[in-house]
Amino acid sequence: MATVTGAAPQPGLRQLIGRAVPYLLLAPGIAWLILFYAIPSLQMFLYSVSTGSLEEGFVLSFTPDAYVKGITQFRTQFGNSLLYGGTATVLTIIIGFPVAYTIAFRGGRYRNLILFMVIAPFFTSFLIRTISWKILLGDEGPLLGPLKHTIGILPGTFTLTGTPVAVVAGLTYNFLPFMILPLYVALEKIDVRLIEAAQDLYATRWGAFRRVTLPLALPGVFAGSILVAIPAMGDFVNAELLGSPQTRMIGNVIQNRFLIQNDYPVAAALSFILMFGILAAVTIYARFLGTERLTG
Amino acid sequence: MASAATSTSRGRPEGSLGDRIGRRVGHLALPVFTSLAIFYLLIPIIVMIVFSFNKPSGKFNYTWNEFSIDGWLHPLDWPGLPESLLASLGVALLATVIATALGTLIGLALTRYAFRGRGLLNGVIFLPMATPELVLGASLLTLFVATALPPLRGNVPTLYPTGFSTILIAHVMFNISYVVVTVKARLAGFDRRLEEAAMDLGANEWVTFWKVTFPLILPGVVAAALLAFALSIDDFIITSFVSGTQNTFPIWVYSIIRNALPVQINVIGSIIFLVAVGYVSLTTIRSAHAQR
């Protein structure tokens, strides 16, 4: 073993090198992460407690001005992020659970093919997929066009693009595979004999599902929710391409403040509120689902 | 397993009426629902491919006009498109090589050595993955663009000019964690006795690594590299913060769609999709053959 944990009386050169090996392996990658992840994060924090502008220079004043301004001014956009991201997460659970269940328990020899189709969207660009949704939901697009003119159940003025429905549809679509995959992994691990045992003990199918399958799948629901909610709540592309100025999410504000208005303090404060909001939500959610006890 | 389940349920006394109806509906409903969900996942891809054969009436390829293969005959025929594709490929290749090397080393250290702070690092390594992309991009921007904060106070508009190199730095940064996690998953089932056997047979550590360890972890490293490449070539959010005036393919698409939606976007998207699907199909077939 290259590692030396006990205290050797006189460590030779070889042992010293051996002890240094893990640190040497870590050094370049960790240095990169410190330089380009940790330091920028710290700098963001410093900006968030600063005042001033890019032209006049920022002053590190350690005041919460930017946070106060961010919360009071952009309540609507925070609400939108929470609402759209939350709705999309719930929808991915509702759509994804039956799909993952079918693949895990009923997939048979088509299992890999269905899984392949679930990840197929990853084989094309995120932006192009969203543009495809814009085509699809367009006023005269493949979906609304026939409904308006050929079938005629919708009035000619009916529109989807620019509405919250379109934004949520896009978010749900873009992040659905991130829900299905962890759900599938969790369900696939379940020992079928446990479900059979419940049924042998006269549990109804629903009872066995609710008391056995569902609790065992909860870690998957948890992992999937995190994988969907974090990018969905921080997203600005769907709201930009499929929405309207009324459907702006907090991501749109942050992007705009950073890239166009150069208002770094407020943008940085908003980023931190978003990040800690997500962190708090995840913690509460973990308590609520009792995942620690389950995965324990 | 499935047949075992059916035989047991047959042996059991029939449930209530509601139970039986539930079973009947369940048997039909699940496959139907799954097919619809898969259709939902595939329809934007179908739209993308179908509309790559459109001849849009105006500048925007949003509504179907008439069939044409113009886009496929001239897939690069739009100002700025070839350059942005080249930049995307360049960034993705370089970022993949660097991130895979750095991430694999961290993965090796985390799984094969005991050292101080290992537990902490095992958790901390997930942080970049858990941070919203928007925040990653924005904080890197504050590093590159400068910074009138002390000690750098002054009229320094840009500390480090944003462009190709800053995109590369950002892509390596967000890829490292994904590489570490993928390589670690492969190393988890690693049998250390194989290395010990090689050493017992007189191989030194260097030879052991290249002759025994590396071939065994290679599939994990390749998987990590493919993941890094895919993440890098598709990244838009982080890149949009640090790209400056340098275009990558997603950045170019985003900037052009305000004024036009050229059919070439659909063509390139379709080509990327077909290449990826082709690659996965080929490797699947090959591994199926190898197993036989």
pTM: 0.85
pLDDT > 70 in chain B, percent: 88
Q: Is the pLDDT of residue B20 over 80?
A: no
Contact between B140 and B173 (Cβ < 8 Å): yes
Of A98, A106, A275, which has the smallest distance from its Cβ to B132's Cβ?
A275
Q: Give the pLDDT score at B7.
A: 42
**Pairing between strand A57-60 and A50-53?**
antiparallel
Q: Which amino acid is at A182?
A: P
Find all residues with CB under 8 Å of A182, minimum gap 6, and list them.
A220, A223, A224, A227
Taking residues B156-180, report their average pLDDT: 86
Domain residue extents for chain B: 2-190+219-291
As a whole number of Å, the end-to-end CA separation of chain A is: 30
* Least confident span in A5-9, A31-35, A144-148: A5-9
Q: Give A259's contacts in chain B (Cβ within 8 Å).
A: 141, 240-241
CB contact under 8 A, B141 and A258: yes
Structural domain that includes position A291: 65-295
Taking residues B31-46, report their average pLDDT: 92
Number of domains in chain A: 1
Question: What token pair was written down for A38?
Answer: 């940790």
A128 belongs to a structural domain: yes
Q: Which amino acid is at A261?
A: Q
Q: Is A82 exposed, middle or buried (0-12, 13-18, 19+ CB in 10 A)?
A: middle
CB contact under 8 A, A125 and B148: no
As a whole number of Å, the end-to-end CA separation of chain B is: 23
The rounded distance, in Å, linking the Cα atoms of A131 and A70 is: 30
CB contact under 8 A, A25 and B45: no
CB contact under 8 A, A271 and B128: no
A24 belongs to a structural domain: no
pLDDT in tens, A257-272: 988 888 889 999 999 9
Of B51, B64, B138, which has the smallest distance from its Cβ to A254's Cβ?
B138
Contact between A274 and A252 (Cβ < 8 Å): no
**Alpha helix (H) ranges present in A34-143?**
39-48, 65-73, 75-101, 111-119, 126-137
CB contact under 8 A, A200 and B254: no
Q: Is the pLDDT of residue B152 over 80?
A: no
CATH of the domain at A163: 1.10.3720.10
CB contact under 8 A, B2 and A226: no
Give me the architecture of the B2-190+219-291 domain, per CATH: Orthogonal Bundle (1.10)
Question: What token pair was written down for A9?
Answer: 């009386």
Question: What token pair was written down for B107?
Answer: 């993965």
Of B47, B132, B135, which has the smallest distance from its Cβ to A136's Cβ?
B47
Q: Which residue has the higher pLDDT, A149 or B120?
A: B120
CB contact under 8 A, B41 and A118: yes
CB contacts < 8 Å between A and B, how many? Answer: 267
Of B29, B63, B176, which has the smallest distance from its Cβ to A141's Cβ?
B63
Contact between A265 and A50 (Cβ < 8 Å): yes
DSSP string, B191-252: -HHHHHHHHHTT--HHHHIIIIIHHHHHHHHHHHHHHHHHHHHH--HHHHHH-TT---HHHH
A214 belongs to a structural domain: yes
pLDDT in tens, B198-226: 889 988 888 988 888 888 889 889 999 99
Residue of A nearest to B241 (CA): A259
Report residue B137's pLDDT band, with 50, 70 and 90 as the boundaries.
very high
Report residue A3's pLDDT band, with 50, 70 and 90 as the boundaries.
very low
Residue to substitute from A34, A124, A196, interface B, most B β-carbons within 10 A: A124
Q: Give A267's contacts in chain B (Cβ within 8 Å).
A: 138
CB contact under 8 A, B38 and A118: yes
* CB neighbours of residue A43 within 10 Å: 18
Of A199, A251, A255, which has the smallest distance from its Cβ to B12's Cβ?
A199
Q: Which amino acid is at B243?
A: S
The rounded distance, in Å, linking the Cα atoms of B232 and B228 is: 6
Contact between A205 and B19 (Cβ < 8 Å): yes
Alpha carbon of B251: minimum distance to chain A alpha carbons (Å): 9
CB contact under 8 A, B113 and A25: yes
CB contact under 8 A, B105 and A22: no
Residue of B nearest to A272 (CA): B135
Taking residues B115-133, report their average pLDDT: 88
Q: Is the pLDDT of residue B126 over 80?
A: yes
Contact between B48 and B266 (Cβ < 8 Å): yes
CB contact under 8 A, A25 and B106: yes
Alpha carbon of A19: minimum distance to chain B alpha carbons (Å): 8
Q: How many CA atoms lie within 13 A of B265 on its CB side?
A: 29
pLDDT > 70 in chain A, percent: 94
Report residue B292's pLDDT band, with 50, 70 and 90 as the boundaries.
low
Contact between A84 and A164 (Cβ < 8 Å): yes
pLDDT in tens, A39-81: 999 988 988 998 887 767 778 888 899 999 999 999 999 999 9
Q: Give the pLDDT score at B216.
A: 86
Of B26, B139, B277, which has the smallest distance from its Cβ to A44's Cβ?
B139
pLDDT in tens, A204-259: 888 888 888 888 888 889 989 988 998 999 999 999 999 999 999 999 999 999 88
Taking residues B155-165, report their average pLDDT: 70
ipTM, interface predicted TM-score of the complex? 0.83
